[in-house]
Structure 1
Amino acid sequence: MSKRTNYSSGSPWEDVVGYSRAVRVGNVVEVTGTVADDKGELVGGNDPYLQAKFALQKIRGVLEQAGARMEDVVRTRMFVTDITQWEAIGRAHQEAFGHIKPCTTMVQVSRFIDDKYLVEIEATAIISE
């Protein structure tokens, strides 16, 4: 059986809800839904592009902790509260992954745990051996 390693962001919600920022099993890294929040502070204000950009930076950071790179990402999922903002959110995704082109999905949801969040992004990476 492959070794499992959990990665924490230090968020108090991780223990309350029972989740990890990321989990690596073998050469697969799963990154949980990531929003534009830094230590309880919203980053990017009411700008979906800036929120997406910050969430992708957080994803990059935890991937690196887990021994992965953005180039290892094979799938992303983007959840948004206003699908009419798809171009701004898509631009942030393209800047992070344009040369990698992972599979992706973008869907509109009714809301997040905090109404200030406009986008939440998940990622799956497979580390090449």
Structure 2
Amino acid sequence: MRRRFVCALAVATSLLTTAAAPSAFAGPAAAASCAPGQVCFWGAPGFEGPPVATFELANADVEQCVSLPEGVDALSFANRMDRYVTMYQSRECATVGDFSTYPGDGVYVPVVPYAVRAFQIWEKP
């Protein structure tokens, strides 16, 4: 009985500590280095550190598959373009792996459900 009480107390303390801790993801404030008109990628969740890749319409064609640099996998990103952007798990924008489309104008994704390796920008809807 005492052991159950100690285990329950430990679990409750752990949950309270986690709930009271500040969020691990700072959100848009941490992604401030991504300027309007850009889509920016980070190699770690939560926009940790500087972006590992940044693109804008000047260096990424609309409706073309754009691969991130070789060896770069994005685990968080910000879409500051005014266009929809599809993120792909595949470096070739293949739909066999995971992919998702996100709207523009300030979408911040601190944790992507898969490693992003390529993206595609779409014409304005």
Tell me, yes or no, whether TM beats 0.5.
no
Q: Which has the larger radius of gyration?
A: 2
TM-score, normalised relative to structure 1: 0.29
**Taking structure 2 as the reference length, what is the TM-score of the superposition?**
0.30
Richer in helix (by share): 1
Tell which has more relative contact order, 1 or 2 (C-alpha 8 A, sep 6+): 1
More strand by share: 1
